[in-house]
């Protein structure tokens, strides 16, 4: 089994024990690693391996295609499961943790859209993320930096991961209040904390209004939602928030004008929220 490691994993204190457990899991010897499944958790599938009498290794399983990998997440010191960032205070009774069913664990592995064929370090927002070579190069590039990419190219994930290295007061500005809230939720997912940072997430309008109040008013989600509620009977297959962001962030977002139906239909899978076969339907809604 291929071993992956969360970029925030710290094994310095238990390095020798960690290496032994890592090697055992890599050869699918879960018995030697004394792996057990943590149950009754609402936030995901987690497993623990025994490092020594007091310390445990928390990990999960991920899948990309037919390949299942172990993602090492966190060292839990002194049986203190309630202090785990990932378990979020869940009460774990060490004596009642069941043995792992390997076949079941493999079936329940979390699917990933992409996994770098060689790089073993993963990032984490609301789910594990593997950067491709271009994204990794940008991630390592020092700021200030301008990142340009189409919808779905990973700009948000990449920006949020770079943001984690910033100290002090940090401002994240995006197009809408919905996207600002979504970015904030992603940033702090899985219990992430940065004690040396104060991050603020604002929409572009909120940012402008912190400087001056612009004339006029941009159509908000509430405006769109009120209109869309009257169209819903004919467009039950389209989710309102997705349509709102697709229209503002893709169809009407180009500097040189609105995308034509042909250009919109030709976008790649990472440039649009909607699958290609659903785009004519969304564009029809936009034209109304």
How is the chain split into domains, by residue range? 2-113, 131-209, 221-287
Q: How do residues 230-285 score in pLDDT, each as one tens digit?
A: 888 888 889 988 999 888 888 888 777 789 999 899 888 788 888 889 999 999 99
Residue 254 CA neighbour count, 13 Å, CB half? 9
In this prediction, residues 37-54 reach a mean pLDDT of 86
For the domain covering 2-113, report its CATH number: 3.30.2310.20
Q: What local confidence, expressed as pLDDT, does residue 59 receive? A: 96
CB proximity list for 160: less than 8 A, separation 6 or greater: 125, 172, 183, 186, 187
Give the model's pLDDT for residue 38. 86
Per-residue pLDDT, 81: 87
Instruction: Indicate if the pLDDT at residue 149 is higher than 90.
Output: no
pLDDT of residue 18: 97
Average predicted confidence (pLDDT) for the chain = 89
Stretch 44-72: mean pLDDT: 94
> pLDDT tens, 63-73?
999 999 999 99
pTM score over 0.95: no
Is it the case that residue 42 has pLDDT exceeding 70? no
pLDDT tens string 184-240 = 999 999 889 888 899 999 998 888 888 876 677 777 888 888 888 888 888 888 998
Residues 6+ positions from 145 with CB-CB distance below 8 Å: 138, 162
Structure tokens at 244: 């709102």
* Rounded CA separation 283/272 (Å): 12
Distance CA 152, CA 269 (A): 8
Measured in whole angstroms, the distance separating CA 245 from the mean position of its chain's CA atoms is: 18
Per-residue confidence (pLDDT) for residue 210, from 0 to 100: 84
- What DSSP string runs through 41-109? -SS--EEEEE-SSS-EEEEEEEEETTEEEEEEEEEEGGG-GGG-TTTTT----GGGPPBP-HHHHHHTP
């Amino acid at each position: 089994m291929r071993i992956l490691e969360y970029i925030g994993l710290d094994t310095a204190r238990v390095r020798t024990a960690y290496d032994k457990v890592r090697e055992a899991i890599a050869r699918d010897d879960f018995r030697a690693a004394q792996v057990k499944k943590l149950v009754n958790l609402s936030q995901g599938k987690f497993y623990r391996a025994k490092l020594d009498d007091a310390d445990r290794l928390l990990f999960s399983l991920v899948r990309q295609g037919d390949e299942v990998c172990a993602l090492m997440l966190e060292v839990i010191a002194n049986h203190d499961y309630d202090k785990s960032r990932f378990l979020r205070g869940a009460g774990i009774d060490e004596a009642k943790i069941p043995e792992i069913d390997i076949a079941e664990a493999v079936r329940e592995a979390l699917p990933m859209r992409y996994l770098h064929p060689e790089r073993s370090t993963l990032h984490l927002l609301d789910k594990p993320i593997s950067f491709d070579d271009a994204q990794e190069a940008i991630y390592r590039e020092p700021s200030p930096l301008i990142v340009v990419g189409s919808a779905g190219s990973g700009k948000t994930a990449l920006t949020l991961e770079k943001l984690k290295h910033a100290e002090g007061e940090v401002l994240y500005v995006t197009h809408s209040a919905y996207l600002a809230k979504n970015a904030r939720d992603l940033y702090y997912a899985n219990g992430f904390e940065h004690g040396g940072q104060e991050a603020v997430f604002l929409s572009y309008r909120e940012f402008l209004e912190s400087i001056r109040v612009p004339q006029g008013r941009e159509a908000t989600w509430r405006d769109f939602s009120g209109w869309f509620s009257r169209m819903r009977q004919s467009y039950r297959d389209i989710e309102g928030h997705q349509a709102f962001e697709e229209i503002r962030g893709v169809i009407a977002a180009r500097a040189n004008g609105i995308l034509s139906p042909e250009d919109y239909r030709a976008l790649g899978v990472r440039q649009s929220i909607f699958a290609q076969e659903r785009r004519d339907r969304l564009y029809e809604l936009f034209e109304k």
